[in-house]
C-alpha cells in the first residue's frame, strides 16, 4: 500500500470535500481517503499495483478540482 498527500485547490465547503472523497474512493485499489478542508489536502492510501497517481489526480479533476502531489 502506498500513502500520498495531494494538495487540492478549489474546495470551499463540506460539499466540496464529499465530492473529492467520493471521486477518490470510487477508484480501484483505493483503501482510505481523508480530505481536510482547512489544509486543502487529501491523504490517499491505495494499492499502487491497481492505481496510479495520474489516475487519482484525473479523478479529482473530473469533479472540478485540481490535485497536486505534495512532497
Give the pLDDT of residue 1: 93
Confidence grade of residue 61 (pLDDT, cut at 50, 70, 90): very high
Is 4 within 8 Å of 37 (Cβ atoms)?
Answer: no
CA–CA separation, 16 and 54 (whole Å):
20
Find the domain containing 31 and state its range: 2-69
Task: Give tens-digit pLDDT for 1-44.
Answer: 999 999 999 999 999 999 999 999 999 999 999 999 999 999 99
Give the pLDDT of residue 24: 98
CA–CA separation, 38 and 31 (whole Å):
23
Say how many domains are in the chain.
Answer: 1
**What is the CATH number for 40?**
3.30.70.100
User: Is 71's pLDDT higher than 80?
Assistant: no
Give the pLDDT of residue 15: 96
Amino acid at each position: 500500500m502506498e500513502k500520498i498527500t495531494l494538495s487540492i485547490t478549489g474546495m470551499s465547503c463540506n460539499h466540496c470535500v464529499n465530492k473529492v472523497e467520493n471521486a477518490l474512493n470510487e477508484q480501484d485499489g483505493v483503501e482510505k481517503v481523508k480530505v481536510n478542508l482547512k489544509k486543502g489536502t487529501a491523504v490517499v492510501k491505495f494499492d499502487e499495483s491497481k492505481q496510479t497517481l495520474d489516475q487519482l489526480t484525473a479523478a479529482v479533476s473530473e469533479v472540478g478540482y485540481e490535485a497536486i502531489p505534495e512532497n
